[in-house]
Structure 1
Amino acid sequence: MRSFTFTHAITRKPSASIVAGLRAVDTGTPSLALMTQHHADYIAALKATGATVVELEALEDFPDSVFVEDTALCLPEGAVVMRPGAPSRLGEAARMAPHLQALYKHVLHIENPESFIEGGDILTTETEILVGRSARTNATGIAELAARVALWDYKVREVFTPPGVLHFKTDCSLLDAETILSTTRLAASGCFEGYRVIPVAEGEEPCANTIRFNDAVIMPQGFPRTRDTLLAQGYKVVEIGNTECAKLDGGMSCLSLRFSPS
């Protein structure tokens, strides 16, 4: 299944400058030491599934650069380099492009200066690519992405991120070919019609951002009711500490680009 079976992942070490990273609400300064430990645990979980993990060096000039997912959309046929909606993050995508070019034959770019789109707003399933319009992703960016991936016969469907939520995938994640883990507020919009939806437990909304990576569902620690629901549904769950990235609105999907280049 191409939407959750991967041979490769790209990650980037957190930089010392991450203490100045963007955040919607200030809930405290993240600990670099603890974040670095959590990041190492995350990489170990990816490698445990048999994937090759490319570990890039920290970028001190870009405090949010540990969140590599926002820089690109990676598909089997090729990659599309994004144009992040936060001005301070535009340079991150340019720094990621050479690494994608080393792994892919085809690397396309979002080029229109009026286009803004981040990977955190993109959910790829077996049948379509859902892109949530948000404060970081606009209609022009979605339309340009749709034109790019149409070359590989992908269909893009525009959906909407709930007000006050940073990214579409802040509130959802893919569990398998037909199943989405979602907050109640996002599922209520009807955007997942045709899919089976597993709701996160009330009060555990931050764990909606998980990743299905090969045979593992990698989720943040500290959300026992949702974890137990996933275990009861037969998923293999791996829990990773995420307290420090959460202070910067980051979750499990944000920390990697996941793909199987053809």
Structure 2
Amino acid sequence: MAFKYNYAIVQKIPQSFSQKYPKIDIETARAEHENLVEILRQSFMDVLEIDVEERHPTSPFVDDTAVIINNIALMCNPYGNRQGEISAIRQTLKRQLGMKVAEISIDGAQLEGSDVLFTGKEIIVGISTHTNEAGATCVAKTFPSTR
């Protein structure tokens, strides 16, 4: 099964990224990010760029914020204090893309989108220090049938 993507959501790298990841050269990272955006523009119909958010140095990792399958977005609850990142993505998905948005339904659930893989038939959720079993259960409840 080949996936067809219509949109890519990206967020520029804030200056605060260099404080969180001091071993990474921020100018090199920004140049690589711009190269990625250009490649996406050549490949996808639309690239949605979210404004830089200095309060959230990990905000360029947009893949941690939501699991999206069949026009339904499950908003994640990633590790640490990243709820501000979730808000920006939620608004983009609802307002700009008109997606149905689901929320984490179990207290204590931790879920990062980068721990989830959709093969087209199955959803695989990796349990990690950032995703727990309750988070995996939320994925199963949100997407009971992927067909």
Same fold (TM over 0.5): yes
Aligned with 2:103 (options 109, 116, 120): 109
Write the distance in 2 (CA, Å) between the matches of 1:98 and 1:75.
17
Write the distance in 2 (CA, Å) between the matches of 1:21 and 1:119.
20
Deviation per CA, 1:67-101, whole angstroms, max 9, x where unpaired?
000000112231111010x2122331122111110
Aligned partner of 2:19 in structure 1 is 20
Write the distance in 1 (CA, Å) between the matches of 2:91 and 2:116.
22
- Structure 1 pair 113–87 and aligned structure 2 pair: CA distance change class (3 A): farther
Alignment of 1:122-161 (within 5 A): 122-150=116-144, 153-154=145-146
Contact 2:120–2:146 (8 Å) recurs in 1: no
Root-mean-square deviation (CA), in Å? Answer: 1.7
TM-score, normalising length: structure 2: 0.91
What is the Cα deviation at residue 5 of structure 1? 1.8
What is the Cα deviation at residue 108 of structure 1? 0.7
Aligned partner of 1:252 in structure 2 is none
Q: Secondary structure at the match of 2:56?
A: coil
Contact 1:7–1:51 (8 Å) recurs in 2: yes
What is the Cα deviation at residue 33 of structure 1? 1.3
Alignment of 1:242-261 (within 5 A): none
Deviation per CA, 1:10-45, whole angstroms, max 9, x where unpaired?
0000000001336xxxxx522221111100100111
Structure index of larger Rg: 1
Deviation per CA, 1:182-204, whole angstroms, max 9, x where unpaired?
xxxxxxxxxxxxxxxxxxxxxxx
Residue identity in the other structure for 1:145: V
Higher RCO (Cα < 8 Å, 6 or more apart):
1
Contact 2:8–2:44 (8 Å) recurs in 1: no
- Structure 1 pair 93–111 and aligned structure 2 pair: CA distance change class (3 A): farther
Write the distance in 1 (CA, Å) between the matches of 2:129 and 2:111.
9
Q: Secondary structure at the match of 1:53?
A: strand
Contact 1:83–1:111 (8 Å) recurs in 2: no
Counting aligned pairs with the same residue, the percent is 28
Contact 2:69–2:146 (8 Å) recurs in 1: no
Number of equivalenced pairs: 146
